[in-house]
Amino acid sequence: MSKNYKIAVVNGDGIGSEIVPAGMEVVNAAAKKYGFGISTESFPYGAGYYKKHGAFMPEGALESLKAFDAIFFGAVGLPEVDDTLPARDFTFKVRTSFEQYVNYRPVKLFPGVVSPLRNKTEKDIDFVVIRENNEVEFVQSGKILYPDKKEGLAIDTTIVTRLGVERIAHFAFKLARKRNKKVTNVTKSNTLIHSLKYWDKVIAEVATQYPDVTFNKMYIDNASANFVLHPEIFDVVLTTNLFGDILSDLGGAIMGSLGFGGSGNINPEKDFPSMFEPIHGSAPDIAGKGIANPIGQIWSAAIMLEHLGEIEAANAIVKAIGMATSKGELTKDVGGSASTTDIKDRVLVALNSL
C-alpha cells in the first residue's frame, strides 16, 4: 500500500498565495507519478491574520500543526505590520516548538541561469548551508532598559549549548558523507571568544568521529569573500543562526536570484513536523502580479519530499527545475518575462516527461 502524507499548507503573505499553490501542484504531480498520496489542509496564518486577529496564529495552532507530516510555507510579513513580529511570533515559534534545529539551504546554479559571478558555472556553485536554527544569536534573550534616556541600554544574549552544537554538527557531517565529504565550519571565534570558541571546540570534537570527511574552519568575513571568489571550494557549510541567515542569502545571490533558493527547517528525528519554505520574503510589492519566481518554493517542495523519504520524486523535481530553466525562459527577477504560471507549467511538463 502506498504511503499518504498529511501536509499543512500555509501560504502566508504577499506572493505566498501565488507560489505556494504552484509548489503544491508540483508536489501533487510528483505524488501521482511516483505512487504516494498527499492530503492537505490550509491555514491562513501570517501578518494578514495578525491584522484581523491580533496574533499570527490562534491559540492551539501548534497543537493542530503537530498532527501533520510537514508544513509547506510561503513567507510572512507585510509593510504595515511591525517587522520584528513575524520572526518572533510565527517563524521562530514554529522552529523552536517543533525542534527544527537544522536549517537546510542548498545553493546550486541551475542550467540556463547566468550567475552574477561571470566566470562560474554549474559545477562551481553546488553546496549546502547548514545553519543552526534554534539557538546561538537568534534566541531573542535580552532586554532594553530606559530606551529614551542617556543611560539607555540594550542587550541581546547569544546562547550556545553542547547539545545544540553537537546535533547540528552530526547532521552536517552525515550530510557531507552523502555529498563530497567536506565540511567547512564558518565561525568568528577570534572575536567572539566565549560563545563561538566553545562552538568551534564542540564541532572539532564531533569532527574526530568522521575521519573520512575533510574538515576545516573559516572565519565569516573570509567565507563571505570566498562565496563570491571561490564558491567551488565549498560542500557543506556549517554555521550559526545569524551567519547562516546572511550567507544563504549571499548564496541565493550567486545563484542569480533569491527567488531560486529553497530551504527546510528540519527536525531530523521526525518527532515533530518540519517546515519547508523559500529563502526570500513575502515581496508584497510584486504580490498579485503573477511575476514571482516560484522555483524557490518548488525546490522547497523537493526538499520536503526528500525529508519524507520520497527520494526519487524529490530528485525528479530538482531535475525538472533544471530542465525548465535550461531553456532560458525565466521570471523578471533574472531578466526574463515568464510568469509564475509559465515556470510552474514548464516544471510540470519536464517532470511528466522524465
| Of 9-18, 152-161, 202-211, the least confident | 152-161
Q: Which CATH number fits domain 115-255: 3.30.428.10, 3.40.718.10, 3.10.20.90, 3.40.190.10?
A: 3.40.718.10
In this model, does residue 137 exceed pLDDT 80? no
CA 340 – CA 318 distance, rounded (Å)? 17
Contact indicator for 43, 61 with CB cutoff of 8 Å:
yes
Quote the pTM value.
0.91
| Average model confidence (pLDDT) across the chain | 93
CB atoms under 10 Å from CB of 237, counted, come to 26
Classify strands 70-75 and 4-12 as parallel, antiparallel or unpaired: parallel
CA 231 – CA 4 distance, rounded (Å)? 39
CA-based end-to-end distance of the chain:
24
Domain ranges of the chain: 1-107+261-354, 115-255
Residue 256's nearest CA partner among 350, 168, 346, 331 is 331
**For the chain, percent of residues with pLDDT exceeding 70:** 99
Q: Which CATH number fits domain 1-107+261-354: 2.130.10.10, 3.40.50.920, 3.40.718.10, 3.20.20.150?
A: 3.40.718.10
pLDDT digits 0-9 by tens, 28-86: 999 999 999 999 999 999 899 899 999 899 999 999 999 999 999 999 999 999 888 87
| DSSP class per residue in 304-316 | HHHHHT-HHHHHH
Domains 1-107+261-354 and 115-255 share a fold: yes
Residue 213's nearest CA partner among 235, 183, 187 is 183
